Amino acid sequence: MKRMPSLFLCLAAAALTGAPLAAHSQTYPAKTVHVIVPHPAGGPGDVPPRGIAQALSQSMGQPFVIENREGADGLIGAEACAKATPDGYTLCSTSAGVLVVNPTLRKNPTYDVSRFIPIVHTGTLQQLILAIPAVPANSMKELLALVKAKPESIKVGTFGSINLASLFVQWTKKELGAAFYPIPYKSASQSLQAALAGDVQVVSFAMGPASKLIKAGKLKALAISPRRVSSLPDVPSLREAGIGFDFTTWFGWFAPAGVPPDIVRRVNGEIAKLLADSQFNAKFIASQGLASDWPTGASPEDFDKFIKTDLEGFVKLAKTVGLKQQ
């Protein structure tokens, strides 16, 4: 696998700090701002930016309109954002899948990731490794012992090659010699329904929706990524449970390269205020299973550094489990 270059540091530093601040933000926005979302309507990729856009429309005095351009693992929407006129009137809200996973695993992505300027991180999706009650294991240690004693005896619902469940299956087999039996589904929701029906024994899913099922006794949580949360204090992180990697999906807002830096900072400041509002956060962020840990609401530069670190970690994980470029 080719070593990925630093995605944003050079370009973002130049755009955000290398030129004197202009007066663009004093008149911005003067017309409708289009926000491209390369994810389907509903869910953590859509609900938070939709709530943010509604609030920005009120606070900034012009409509912020969400445009869902899903498809091809986010390639369609990302390409549209990267190639948009850099005047601040086309922005995008997207995820690690588009800005970290695709550039790492696709030989020829349809967009250049250096064409994105980070604006603000809006949340991290907490994900759980879940087992159905019939599985005679109440911890990751016990689950791994079962599988080592009887390889491929536990079916794991996966959905594509890049999700917590599939990476968990690949990592545990290669690093621990524990062979699960993966069953592929088209989506996370389908894999979850398969678990509830008893067709598979283990799945991964976002913490928000899964929490209700855990409380109802329909599923039990064995581990969480990336770290423990206060609402599930007894559930260890993946690393605490002996799984030597973290896999997270984060979301954030970006601008096409060349957008005036004062506009980037203006939008960053407005969104950061929303994320810090407890009522807004509960309605549009936490409700989707997103955690507001660092660098949520932080500066564009902090978001940029976070992306670089996340990219380095994912490249290492991809090499460990043998993911190939496509």
User: pLDDT digits over 218-235, tens only?
Assistant: 999 999 988 888 888 999
Paired residues of 66 in beta bridges:
35
Of residues 189 and 256, more confidence is placed in: 256
Helix intervals (H) in 160-241: 164-171, 188-196, 207-215
Is the domain spanning 127-225 CATH 3.40.190.10? The answer is yes
Least confident of 9-13, 160-164, 266-270: 9-13
DSSP for residue 99: I
Peptide linkage before 226 cis (omega within 30 of 0): yes
Residue 9 confidence (pLDDT):
46
Q: How confident is the model at residue 12 (pLDDT cuts 50, 70, 90)?
A: very low
Q: Give residue limits of the domains in the chain.
A: 9-125+249-321, 127-225
- The reported pTM is 0.83
Q: Give dist(CA 231, CA 250) in Å, integer.
A: 19
Residue 189 confidence (pLDDT):
86
Helix intervals (H) in 122-177: 140-149, 164-171
Dihedral (Cα; 255, 122, 209, 172), 10-degree rounding? 90
Q: How confident is the model at residue 17 (pLDDT cuts 50, 70, 90)?
A: very low
Q: Give dist(CA 84, CA 296) in Å, integer.
A: 25
Q: Tell me the chain's radius of gyration from C-alpha atoms.
A: 20
* Tokens read off for 162: 């890049």
The CATH classification number of 9-125+249-321 equals 3.40.190.150
Q: What is the pLDDT of residues 301-320, one digit of tens each?
A: 999 999 999 999 999 998 98
Strand 127-131, strand 220-225: pairing: antiparallel
- Asked if the model's pLDDT at residue 118 lies above 90, the reply is yes
Least confident of 17-26, 200-209, 226-235, 258-267: 17-26
- Asked if the model's pLDDT at residue 5 lies above 90, the reply is no
- Asked if the model's pLDDT at residue 147 lies above 90, the reply is yes
Q: Give dist(CA 210, CA 155) in Å, integer.
A: 19
